[in-house]
Homo-oligomer: A and B are copies of this chain.
Amino acid sequence: MDNFTYCTPTKYIFGSDAELQAGTQLAALGINNVLVCYGGGSVVRSGLLERVETSLAQSGITFVELGGIQPNPTDPKVREGIDLCRRTAIQGILAVGGGSVIDTAKAIAAGVPYDGDFWDFWAGKATVTEALPVGVVLTIPAAGSEGSGNSVITLLDGMHKISLRTDFALRPKFALMNPELTFTLPPEQTAAGIADMMAHIFERYFTTTPDVEVTDRISEGLLMAIIDQAAKVMAAPTDYQARANIMWSGTLAHNGICGTGRREDWVSHFMEHEISAVYGVTHGSGLAVIQPAWMTFMAHHAPQRGAQLARRVFAVDEPDDTLAALQGIACLKAFYRSIGLPVTFAQLGIDHPDIPLLVAKLHENKGPEIGGYYRLTPADTAEIYRLAL
């Protein structure tokens, strides 16, 4: 186990009607004027935005809206938000949505008090030390951004999709989590969210740090719970209990508890970011395609962790590590297919991916060799992309 510092100060308020606490929670933080961020029209049509804004009004909080945030959010919306906040003396940001909305809210929160261009943080030129407080009303369990200090933004100029990780500065102050808000998610979005949260666990699970039994067992337990509850939620989208289990899993998958004491490896995410930047696919669906391919490569080069995953989560009974890992990957792909996810580029709607372009952009963004669990050259990452064909 490696040394670590772990702190998750986000207050999670979980259950029916949680969103109605938006006003009181912001007021408790001393915020009187808030930017309300949201995405498409569903939060408007469902009446959620109105309920939240009524809650703000009841606490005497004024607000300005920033709607229209798109999936795979980009820098222009962030700049628009920063400008809006500065012009209207905004004190805090309330994100009503999923990962894209929350990540945009965080980027705005970091940018407002910063003297330079907000992209400096994502480009690694500056560190976030100060940010407006962010609160969340979660509508999509997937990205785990409601409990993390991370934010993924794409710079349109060059389509650079970059994940910024901060320890504390960008962790939301509170997350209001009502599973009922996810009843109306389309099946493909529910499934993509499930792949996303599982990926967040896998990226922490494939580690070279030995002796992390506690973190292993928590991660394996979460994966088993997700797989069990996913079947229920796909079969009955308004099953409150299954939705609740999936929603809470999404937070725990990414708030750091699955990473304590070990090195992580986010190459599958990096590889998917290039796919979604170029082809505009849903992040979770892209992960369902690329992560089993990455694991397949590892089964042949560093099979130990995949073998343990297979044996503990998928009950694979096979003494050989490579064979066990491969059987586990087969189980994982079968699970993904069972909830309607793609597991190949073709199923993702990309018949002829431009692998040289993906590889070039990947290594341009991340360096000539990437990966903590196993170092990958451009030849290796090209092979992984091909394994997803």
| Partner-B contacts on A (CB < 8 A) | 1-16, 18, 210-214, 216-222, 224-225, 228-229, 241-242, 244-245, 248-249, 252, 257, 260-261
Contact = CB atoms under 8 A, between A and B. Distances in A.
B1 A244 contact: yes
Given A3-B18, A4-B15, A213-B225, 9 more contacts: A1-B248, A9-B9, A14-B260, A210-B241, A212-B245, A214-B245, A218-B218, A248-B260, A252-B257
Contacts of A3: 14-16, 18
A314 B65 CA distance: 53
Nearest to A21: B5
Contacts of A245: 1, 211-214
A257 B257 contact: yes
Contacts of A222: 214, 217-218
A6 B8 CA distance: 10
Contact of A5 (B13, B221, B248): B13
25 contacts: A1-B244, A1-B245, A2-B15, A3-B14, A3-B15, A3-B16, A4-B14, A5-B12, A5-B14, A6-B14, A7-B11, A8-B8, A14-B261, A211-B242, A211-B244, A212-B245, A213-B228, A213-B229, A218-B218, A218-B222, A219-B221, A220-B221, A221-B221, A248-B260, A257-B257
Nearest to A252: B214
A1 B221 CA distance: 17
A203 B221 CA distance: 19
A303 to B, nearest CB: 22
A256 to B, nearest CB: 10
A292 B242 CA distance: 32
A127 B274 CA distance: 53
Nearest to A212: B245
Nearest to A210: B241
A6 B257 CA distance: 14
B210 A221 contact: no
B9 A248 contact: no
A4 B176 CA distance: 11
A10 to B, nearest CB: 7
Contact of A214 (B212, B216, B225): B225
A16 B3 CA distance: 7
A252 B218 CA distance: 10
Contacts of A229: 213-214
Nearest to A12: B6
B221 A217 contact: yes
Contact of A225 (B2, B10, B217, B244): B217
Nearest to A242: B211
A219 B13 CA distance: 21
Contacts of A13: 5
A210 B228 CA distance: 15
Contacts of A11: 5-7
Nearest to A14: B4
A338 to B, nearest CB: 18
A121 B224 CA distance: 41
